[in-house]
Amino acid sequence: MQLEERNAQDNDSTMMHFVLLGFSDLPNLQGLLSGVFTIMYLTILIGNSLIIITSIDPTLHKPMYFFLANFSSLEICYVSVTLPRILFNLWTQNRSISLRDCAAQLCFFLILGATECFLLAVMSYDRYVAICNPLHYALVMNPKRCAQLAAGCWLGGIPVQIGQTCQIFSLHFCNSNQINHFFCDIPPILQLACEDTSAHEASVYVVAMLFVAVPFMLILASYSKIISTILRLPTAKGRAKAFSTCSSHLLVVVLFFGTATITYLRPKSSHSADNDKLLSLFYTVVTPMFNPLIYSLRNKDVIASLKKIITKNVMS
At the topology level, CATH places domain 17-301 in Rhopdopsin 7-helix transmembrane proteins (1.20.1070)
Amino acid at 15: M
The answer, yes or no, to whether residue 13 has pLDDT greater than 60, is no
Task: Tell me if 156 sits within 8 A of 114, measured CB to CB.
Answer: yes
Across 278-289, b (16+ Cβ under 10 Å) vs e yields ebbbbbbbebbb
R_g of the chain, CA atoms, integer Å: 22
**What's the Cα-to-Cα distance from 307 to each of 57, 145, 180, 248, 259, rounded to whole Å?**
11, 30, 44, 20, 34
Burial of 130 (0-12, 13-18, 19+ CB in 10 A): buried
Beta-strand ranges (E) seen in 40-81 are none
Q: Helix (H, G, I), strand (E, B), or coil: what is residue 27?
A: helix
Tell me the pLDDT tens digit for each residue of 93-106.
888 999 999 999 99
For residue 24, count other CB atoms closer than 10 A to its CB.
18
Q: What is the pLDDT of residue 8?
A: 41
Phi-psi region of 93 (alpha: psi -120 to 50; beta: other; left: phi over 0): left
Tell me the pLDDT tens digit for each residue of 169-181.
988 887 688 888 8
What does the domain layout of the chain look like in residue ranges? 17-301
Kindly state the helix (H) or strand (E) to which residue 179 belongs, with its residue range. strand 178-179
Q: Is the dihedral of CA 55, 114, 284, 262 positive or negative?
A: negative
The answer, yes or no, to whether residue 316 has pLDDT greater than 90, is no
The answer, yes or no, to whether residue 87 has pLDDT greater than 90, is yes
What's the rounded mean pLDDT across residues 20-35? 87
> Which band of pLDDT confidence, cut at 50, 70 and 90, is reported for residue 158?
very high
In degrees to the nearest 10, what's the CA dihedral of 82, 66, 259, 170?
Answer: 50
Amino acid at 171: L
What's the rounded mean pLDDT across residues 232-251? 75
Q: What is the pLDDT of residue 5?
A: 52
Across 78-99, b (16+ Cβ under 10 Å) vs e yields bbebbbebbbebbeeeebebeb
First to last CA, the chain: 51
